[in-house]
Structure formats: C-alpha cells, structure tokens
Amino acid sequence: MKASKAHIEEIGRIITKHRSSPQVTLIKDLNPVIRGWASFYSKSDAATVGELSKQDNLTYLKLRRWAKHRCGNINDGHIKYWISIGDDNWVFATREGTANHFRLLKHRQVECSSTDYVKVKGDKSPYDGDTVYWSKRLGTHPQMPNRKAKLLKRQKGKCPWCGLYFQEWDVIEEDHIIPRALGGKDEYKNLQLLHRHCHDRKTAFDLKEIRKKNHSKFLEKLSQFWEKN
C-alpha cells in the first residue's frame, strides 16, 4: 500500500493533469485511485477514520484550487462543481440530472461501504469531551482564543455544516449563523465554528440569499416610487 503522502501526491497529479478536462473525466480518473487506496488502507492495522477524513480534506483543497482556476473565483466554483446529495452538503459531482450525476468518492465512504473486515476505529474529535484538556491546550494558543474553545464545547466538537468532528489538522473558522448583511448580530449566540471548506460552501449559499434580499429591496423601492408618482 502506498503511504498517505504518496497517495495524496498521486491525487494532486491527476487533478493537475485535468486542469482543462470536463469534471466528469476528472472524477472518473480519481475514483479508482481513491477506492483502491482507501479499501487497502481500511484493512491495515493503523487505519483510523481520522486519516480517511484527512485524505478527503486534502483532496478537497486540491479540488478547490482546480475549481478556482476554472471559474476565476471560488464562490462560483463551489456553485458549479459541488452539490448536496441527501444529508451530504458537500459532494463534488456533475449536475446533469439527479439520477445521473457522477460523484467523486470519499475516502470515508469507501470504508463504510466495504463489506470486508474493517479495522477502522476512533471516530472521535480531540475537541468533543475533555474541555479542560483542550481549552488549556488551545485556549492559551494565540490561534485558538477562548471564544473558539467555548464554541467548540457548545458544538460538541462537531462542524454543523457537514456533521463531522473537527480534527487537529482541520482549519476551523468562525461564521455568523445569520450573516451580518442579513441582519445577524456579531454576538456569541449567532456564531458557530465551521471547517474552512464548509465555511466556503455556506458563504456561497449566504451570498445567494443576500442577492435575493437586495433584489427584493430594490423592487420595494421601485414600487414606492411608482406609488408616489
């Protein structure tokens, strides 16, 4: 079995090769590589869910660059190349039809769907339980202020957007649940922590809502104008 690092490098090479290919071609090339590595890895003694999630996150970061390169900015990239399927708000898939879209496998899903003996263990966050432990560890860290530590506790170590536990290598960002532009306040109860990639995705949705709102404000003003005149 290839080491994790060699595996993600291979994914990177495939994504680079397909800079200008259609999304479906990229997915078809990536899926066998992901399936192969994840199913071997799941049976190894060292297998953990955390490592599979890590591979998914690293893959995402490479795809994010790919999408940004193609669309000029990442918000359009997210809207164009990622969709929601069932509970998963975060699927890299083509949009053609609901039954026919091609979706990129996740390393975690390969493990879940395997009928073989699976040794994967430890679907747990370092942030979910022992508050004292991690607030001590992170609260004093300049990059993890106390507010973040409190939010982590309130969220029980989970990201509300994707439902997965935060892991130590994740980039975690603060988000306004109701965006400021839609009247959300900058206060504790309107804040949540999200993975950076989930935050990107939520921002794309928020922007759509904000545009809708601005549009209806505009119509309101217009009708006021007509009533007056």
Residue ranges in contact with Zn ion by CB under 5 A? 159, 161-162, 195, 198
Residue 110 or 198 having the CB closest to Zn ion: 198
The distance of closest approach from Cβ of residue 32 to Zn ion in the complex, given in angstroms and rounded to an integer, is 26
The distance of closest approach from Cβ of residue 72 to Zn ion in the complex, given in angstroms and rounded to an integer, is 25
Residue 10 or 88 having the CB closest to Zn ion: 88
Residue 93 or 159 having the CB closest to Zn ion: 159
The distance of closest approach from Cβ of residue 198 to Zn ion in the complex, given in angstroms and rounded to an integer, is 3
Per DSSP, the three-state class of 90 is strand
Q: CA-to-CA distance for 23 and 103, rounded, in angstroms? A: 10
The H-or-E segment that residue 158 falls in is none
Closest CA to 11 of 51, 46, 58, 54: 58
Residue 7 or 199 having the CB closest to Zn ion: 199
Q: CA-to-CA distance for 172 and 195, rounded, in angstroms? A: 5
Q: CA-to-CA distance for 224 and 15, rounded, in angstroms? A: 52
Per DSSP, the three-state class of 91 is strand
The distance of closest approach from Cβ of residue 69 to Zn ion in the complex, given in angstroms and rounded to an integer, is 23
Residue 63 or 159 having the CB closest to Zn ion: 159
The sign of the dihedral angle between the CA atoms of 50, 51, 57, 61 is positive
Q: CA-to-CA distance for 73 and 76, rounded, in angstroms? A: 6
The distance of closest approach from Cβ of residue 49 to Zn ion in the complex, given in angstroms and rounded to an integer, is 14
Residue 47 or 162 having the CB closest to Zn ion: 162
Task: Count the Cβ atoms, other than its own, within 10 Å of residue 220.
Answer: 10
The distance of closest approach from Cβ of residue 161 to Zn ion in the complex, given in angstroms and rounded to an integer, is 5
Q: Are 147 and 189 in contact (CB under 8 A)?
A: no
Q: CA-to-CA distance for 4 and 7, rounded, in angstroms? A: 5
